[in-house]
Amino acid sequence: MSSSDIHIHDHHAHSHDHDHDHEHHELPWIRQYIFSEDHKIIAKQYLISGILWAILGGLFSLIFRIQLGFPNADLSWMKPVLGEWIQNGKLDPEFYLAMVTMHGTIMVFFVLTAGLSGTFSNFLIPLQIGARDMASGFLNMLSFWFFFLSSVVMFASIFISTGPASGGWVIYPPLSALPQAMSGSGLGMTLWLSSMAIFIVSSLLGSLNYITTIINLRTKGMTFDRLPLTIWAFFITAIIGVLSFPVLFSAALLLVFDRSFGTSFFLSEIYIGGEALSNQGGSAILFQHLFWFLGHPEVYIVLLPALGITSEIVATNSRKPIFGYKAMIGSILAIAFLSFIVWAHHMFITGMNPFLGSIFMFLTLIIAVPSAVKAFNYIATLWKGNIIFTPAMLFSIGLVSFFISGGLTGIILGNSAIDIQLHDTYFVVAHFHIVMGSASFFGMLAGVYHWFPKMFGRMMDERLGYIHFWLTFIGVYVVFFPMHYIGIAGFPRRYYSWTGFDAFNSFADLNQLISIAAILVFIAQFIFIFNFFYSIFKGRISSLNPWRSNTLEWTTPLNPEHGNWPGDIPHVYRWPYDYSKPGHNEDFIPQNVPFSQTPHSNFPHEKDSNE
Amino acid sequence: MTTIYIIAAIVLIVAILVVIFRLQVLSAVLKGRYEKRVGIGNDINGLLFVIVFVVGVGAFWYSYQQASAFFLPAASSEHGVRTDQLFWVTMAILVAAFLVTNALLYVFPYFYKYKEDRKAYFYPDNHRLEMIWTIIPAVVMAGLVVFGYKEWTAITSPAPKGAEVIEIMGKQFAWQVRYPGKDGVLGNYNYRNIDAVNEFGIDMNDSASYDDFIPRELHLPKGKPVLLNIRARDVIHSVFLPHFRVKMDAVPGMPTHFWFVPTKSTADMRDETGNAKFNYELACTEVCGRGHYAMRFVVVVDEPADYEKWKASQETFASLNRDYAAEKAPKLVGLLPAKVAAPEAPADSTAAPADTTAVAAH
Ligand code: HEM
Ligand SMILES: [Cu+2]
Ligand SMILES: [Cu+2]
């Protein structure tokens, strides 16, 4: 059933397939590379867009890090680029907030949601479950182009004279609802909302496709308990996305109504710009509930794919089965479920009923348990392994380190009594940059290094990969670890400058150090970018299965065409983690090897079911 | 012209790097470096993990020593002492967990790096082990929740009777505070009454408004419960008193509250910190626009007797704005003091408070 609507290269299916074969080869260039329905091309489109967005998002963070690290510096040299946003050699405070907002939006949605999940869900789902393409190639293409459109709108908003949205990536009204409150809440916010609405459409199309494909198009023998953990992660991520993004959509829609059509969903009793507004009875807190109902699941939408990728890479390169496969699936499910009922831990001090605070503290701390299980399982997988440090493996280990360090501080923030002091300080910034930002980012890099040979048929240079890893890994800790200290000292986030306060007048040196480290980490990423683009064209030709991995994507030709396998789709006989199985002469047994071919390594219960 | 030079230089540097890199790869291919399953790089990476861990822990220790000198002084409120304690106890547990797990994470790669003649240990699961490391975090979490819950309910419980009620209002970009005056009752307000004179929107037709006063610093009595009535009139702000471990959002249309007991007067803190210019401060921690970073307001904690003196010395809003009050509430003119009392010398312990609006508008 899996290939009935794809027709390509499936010589064993109906006889008229041959005609389609010809049609396919005659596809115009633009249908092959631009408006392509091939999941592999779409994945690369997401990846390249993600990389471009990451550069921009990173650059924005440097602008405001320069402001924080060197508050007295003369920034006139930025004037040729930033124009009116530099006045008398100083960054405009509203532009500072605009940069913070755009940085957050870009990183969370455009890089780590689209760039990470879009790339690897698209690339790996059909290849690893043994399908010729997504359930609907057309919707998949549409999903990318909606994302592209939303990118264009967001990008355009950066250049308008009133500036892009500036109220933080959480866009709390009334600040985001009232153009009188700040200039970014005018046209910039309209564009932000439009862009995000389109983004949500893209995300839903993508997620529905992932879910359908995984449920319906698995090859023979690929039961759910033989799915690689990558696929489990993408599957659950897509479900979380489908359930939570619509809520953000409705919040955005209500905000549009408040902004443009005079409704009062979020507005009440406001006096601004010398006049009392007529809005009454709305609730600003309602928006926060709606936002975080997406917002917290969103952090797992970003993180779970990275964890899935890591599971695969750690097992492959430890030459060991992932420890506790079932527990890994169980904890993904538990995290996914709990992620829907912890959102209000972002709202302990909004004035919501303190009893709710108690409930959410309790639920939030529960979610630490499945997270801890995952961390322990990674470590147990390394134990007594035979570890090969590919760059992908290094980045995966780095991810586990960040996941632990950042997850632990979550336990502090999840405690409402302690969060009173730490909320909206740099402690929170340190926490989520390590656990969400850096961990997911490392997952993305690990994925690129690992599947590059499958994407482009060539290898990336591993020594550049090593240098890239060590600089980035150490750099990330140097940048984000000290932010805990700054947060403990009470420094609020989203501050243009702290020098106006006696209490926040210290740490000038530390902030300078962070800024310098941030600049260096940013520059170090160009090692990767060089390696990436250079290797696409000039890298060494890869072997078919360079990492001696078990999963199905490595059974395809070096540069698989649309349809992935030239002949039949391989069948699957075993789980994906038969690494270093006792009794077998090699240290891996791919999923498509029947038990009948490995008589010496089979456990008693392992027999091929009747074909 | 310089731009062209710079671009040319960058192009040249990139070209040179590409050539060096290409040569390096070619020579590696000739030497057969890519034939072997792992190279020397594997050992180096394994070793680096251990080195980075040891150096990292050292850096952690050192940086903590340096940074902790600049942490906030011990909390100046009753609940703050307890939440600080909760924070540091939790932190100690977490640092222990952090060190143990990271030690394993960095040491395993070193010990189990690839060796040609070894096979990894096929070890897919161990239910007992998994039970253990599910239950231990669960128990620790349960403990933390219990302590957190106790503290949280105590802090958010209704304010004790007789607490000093003070209103704080956030606006773009300044704080304003209002005291209820002798009757202990804050007069009604309505946001529609707000104008250039009446920033709070005080209802002059409410007789309770007539003794309310609006000082330029927030004064608090030492050792007495203080209840803050918090609101905002334009966008969301957030009241943050870092030294008291107090934070609560100020939301337009939804008044919020926070009560606490200040335990150290400003003078006490000046002694304790050795800084004769020490002042408590109020900051904003919810982004509210261009002046968000500049919403500073000075807070003064007085000994109870001084506090009463200070209160008595404040002139009411109504008497400062007699004409305004008379115009808005002609029926209640009788409540205005007959003549403006000669204001006593202000007991403000600081120089003129920072006019944050001016900074913000810069
Ligand atoms: C494991 C992946 C996690 C991710 C990706 C993540 C991500 C985030 C993000 C993005 C924020 C910032 C919200 C803002 O802009 O204000 C945040 C805050 C927070 N996180 Fe996490 N987090 C994770 C784990 C945890 C864990 C394990 C806990 C608790 C046990 C936790 C508790 C919190 C709390 C309570 C806040 C709110 C803090 C505050 O606003 O003061 N998080 N997290
Ligand atoms: Cu959350
Ligand atoms: Cu603010």
| Peptide linkage before A174 cis (omega within 30 of 0) | yes
Mean pLDDT within B156-174:
94
Asked whether residue B355 carries a pLDDT value surpassing 90, the answer given is no
Encoded tokens for A309: 């990728």
CB atoms within 10 A of CB A142: 18
How far apart (Å, rounded) are the C-alpha atoms in residues A138 and B167?
A: 59
State what percent of residues in chain B have pLDDT above 70: 90
Asked whether residue B340 carries a pLDDT value surpassing 70, the answer given is no
Q: What is the mean pLDDT of chain B?
A: 87
Q: What residues does B353 pair with on adjacent strands?
A: none
How far apart (Å, rounded) are the C-alpha atoms in residues B273 and B275?
A: 5
State what percent of residues in chain A have pLDDT above 90: 81
Asked whether residue B350 carries a pLDDT value surpassing 80, the answer given is no
- Compare CB distances from A271 to B234, B281, B284 and report the shortest one's residue: B234
| Partner-chain contact B285 A282, CB within 8 Å | no
Task: Say whether both B170 and B149 belong to one domain.
Answer: no
Instruction: Count residue pairs from A and B with Cβ separation < 8 A.
Output: 356
How far apart (Å, rounded) are the C-alpha atoms in residues B199 and A404?
A: 49
A33 vs A28, A43, A44, A116, A539, CA distance in Å? 9, 11, 10, 20, 21
CB of A298 within 6 A of ligand 1: the answer is no
Q: What number of residues does chain B have?
A: 362
Asked whether residue B360 carries a pLDDT value surpassing 80, the answer given is no
- Compare CB distances from B112 to A357, A387, A485 and report the shortest one's residue: A387
CB of A312 within 6 A of ligand 1: the answer is no
Asked whether residue A220 carries a pLDDT value surpassing 80, the answer given is yes
Find the ligand nearest to A293 CA: 2
Residue B59 lies in a domain: yes
Task: Say whether both B267 and B321 belong to one domain.
Answer: yes
A219 vs A125, A127, A131, A569, CA distance in Å? 12, 10, 6, 7
Task: Say whether both B139 and B174 belong to one domain.
Answer: no
How far apart (Å, rounded) are the C-alpha atoms in residues A180 and B285?
A: 20
Task: Say whether both B168 and B82 belong to one domain.
Answer: no
User: Mutate which of B34, B45, B140, B150 to disrupt the A interface (most A C-beta within 10 Å)?
Assistant: B45
Give residue limits of the domains in chain A. 41-267, 302-323+333-549, 559-611
Residues 6+ apart with CB under 8 A from B248: A349, A351, B228, B230, B238, B239, B256, B257, B258
Q: Do A302-323+333-549 and A41-267 have the same topology in CATH?
A: yes
Task: Say whether both B175 and B151 belong to one domain.
Answer: no
Which residues 23-42 of chain B have a CB within 8 Å of chain A?
Answer: 25, 29, 34, 37-38, 41-42
Q: What is residue B179's three-state secondary structure?
A: strand
How far apart (Å, rounded) are the C-alpha atoms in residues A11 and A3?
A: 11
Low-confidence winner among A66-70, A87-91, B243-247 (lowest mean pLDDT):
A87-91
Mean pLDDT within B2-19:
76
Q: What's the pLDDT score for residue A484?
A: 96
CB of A590 within 6 A of ligand 1: the answer is no
Residue B353 lies in a domain: no
Q: What's the pLDDT score for residue A26?
A: 67
How far apart (Å, rounded) are the C-alpha atoms in residues B183 and B163?
A: 13
Residue B277 lies in a domain: yes
CA distance B276 to chain A (A): 12
Low-confidence winner among A77-81, A441-445, B206-210, B340-344 (lowest mean pLDDT):
B340-344
| Partner-chain contact B87 A477, CB within 8 Å | no
Q: What's the pLDDT score for residue B42?
A: 85
pTM above 0.80, yes or no: yes
Q: CB–CB of A310/A121 below 8 Å?
A: no
CB of A365 within 6 A of ligand 1: the answer is yes
B71 vs A487, B75, B117, B243, B278, CA distance in Å? 9, 11, 53, 10, 15
Q: Summarize pLDDT for A322-347 with one digit per residue, the tens.
A: 999 999 999 999 999 999 999 999 99
Q: What's the pLDDT score for residue B361?
A: 38
- Tell me which residue of A300, A242, A268 sits closest to A178, measured CA to CA: A268
Asked whether residue B192 carries a pLDDT value surpassing 70, the answer given is yes
Closest chain B residue to A96, measured at CA: B290
Top-level class of domain A41-267? mainly alpha
Work out whether the CA dihedral A565, A568, A569, A574 comes out positive or negative: negative
Mean pLDDT within A299-317:
95
Q: Summarize pLDDT for B235-250 with one digit per residue, the tens.
A: 999 999 999 999 999 9
- Compare CB distances from A503 to B114, B125, B242 and report the shortest one's residue: B242
Q: What's the pLDDT score for residue B9?
A: 78
Q: What is the DSSP annotation of B221-265?
A: ETTS-EEEEEEESSS-EEEEEGGGTEEEEEBBTB-EEEEE-B-S-
CA distance B53 to chain A (A): 10
DSSP assignment letter at B347: -
- Compare CB distances from B293 to A422, A462, A500 and report the shortest one's residue: A500
Q: What's the pLDDT score for residue A401?
A: 96
| Partner-chain contact A285 B256, CB within 8 Å | no
| Peptide linkage before B70 cis (omega within 30 of 0) | no
Q: Whose CA is nearest to atom 31 of ligand 1?
A: A410
- Tell me which residue of A384, A335, A148, A367 sits closest to A237, measured CA to CA: A335
Task: Say whether both B147 and B171 belong to one domain.
Answer: no
Residue A431 Cα to ligand 1 midpoint, Å, equals: 7
Q: Whose CA is nearest to atom 39 of ligand 1?
A: A423
User: Mutate which of B57, B141, B147, B259 to disrupt the A interface (most A C-beta within 10 Å)?
Assistant: B141
Residues 6+ apart with CB under 8 A from B3: none
B356 CB neighbours in chain A (<8 A) are: 500
CA distance B309 to chain A (A): 27
Residue A295 Cα to ligand 1 midpoint, Å, equals: 10
Residue B121 lies in a domain: no
**Cα first-last separation, chain B:** 36
Q: Summarize pLDDT for B115-162 with one digit per residue, the tens.
A: 888 888 898 888 898 899 899 999 998 999 899 999 999 999 999 998
Residue B246 lies in a domain: yes
Q: What's the pLDDT score for residue B357?
A: 41
Report the CATH number that the domain containing residue B299 is assigned in CATH: 2.60.40.420
Long-range Cβ contacts of B193-200 (<8 Å, 24+ apart): B193/B328, B194/A271, B194/A276, B194/B233, B197/B321, B197/B324, B198/B321, B198/B324, B198/B328, B199/B169, B199/B171, B200/B167, B200/B169, B200/B176
Q: Summarize pLDDT for A152-192 with one digit per residue, the tens.
A: 999 999 999 999 999 999 999 999 999 999 999 999 999 99
Task: Say whether both B187 and B42 belong to one domain.
Answer: no
| Partner-chain contact A538 B242, CB within 8 Å | no
How far apart (Å, rounded) are the C-alpha atoms in residues A311 and A396?
A: 8
Closest chain B residue to A354, measured at CA: B156
Question: Is A362 in the B-facing interface, judged by CB distances under 8 Å?
Answer: yes
Q: Summarize pLDDT for A384-405 with one digit per residue, the tens.
A: 999 999 999 999 999 999 999 9
Residues 6+ apart with CB under 8 A from A410: A364, A368, A431, A435
Asked whether residue B346 carries a pLDDT value surpassing 50, the answer given is no
Confidence of residue A88 (pLDDT cuts 50, 70, 90): confident
Which residues 470-499 of chain A have a CB within 8 Å of chain B?
Answer: 470, 473-474, 477, 481-482, 485, 488-490, 492-498
Low-confidence winner among A40-54, A221-235, A244-258, B9-23 (lowest mean pLDDT):
B9-23
Asked whether residue B5 carries a pLDDT value surpassing 60, the answer given is yes
Task: Say whether both B34 and B103 belong to one domain.
Answer: yes
Task: Say whether both B263 and B241 belong to one domain.
Answer: yes
Residue B340 lies in a domain: no
Pick the CATH number of A302-323+333-549 from 1.10.3720.10, 3.40.50.620, 2.60.260.20, 1.20.210.10: 1.20.210.10
Task: Say whether both B286 and B329 belong to one domain.
Answer: yes
Confidence of residue B33 (pLDDT cuts 50, 70, 90): low
Residue B354 lies in a domain: no
Q: What angle separates helix A391-413 from helix B78-111, to the nearest 10 degrees?
A: 160
Give the number of C-alpha atoms closer than 13 A to the C-alpha of residue A19, restricted to the C-beta side. Answer: 3
Question: Is B133 in the A-facing interface, judged by CB distances under 8 Å?
Answer: yes
- Tell me which residue of B228, B239, B272, B216 sits closest to B74, measured CA to CA: B272
Task: Say whether both B132 and B195 belong to one domain.
Answer: no
Domain count, chain B: 2
A605 CB neighbours in chain B (<8 A) are: none
Task: Say whether both B65 and B23 belong to one domain.
Answer: yes
Scanning B315-362, the segments in alpha helix (DSSP H) are 317-320, 322-328, 356-361
Asked whether residue A17 carries a pLDDT value surpassing 80, the answer given is no
CA distance B224 to chain A (A): 21
CB of A439 within 6 A of ligand 1: the answer is no
Q: Which domain holds residue B239?
A: 164-334
- Tell me which residue of B219, B177, B237, B218 sits closest to B360, measured CA to CA: B237
Asked whether residue A444 carries a pLDDT value surpassing 50, the answer given is yes
Asked whether residue B342 carries a pLDDT value surpassing 70, the answer given is no
Q: What is the mean pLDDT of chain A?
A: 91
CB atoms within 10 A of CB A339: 22
- Tell me which residue of A493, A143, A381, A341 sits closest to B240, measured CA to CA: A493
Residue B107 lies in a domain: yes
Closest chain B residue to A501, measured at CA: B296
Q: CB–CB of A57/A103 below 8 Å?
A: yes
CA distance B341 to chain A (A): 32
Question: Is B298 in the A-facing interface, judged by CB distances under 8 Å?
Answer: no
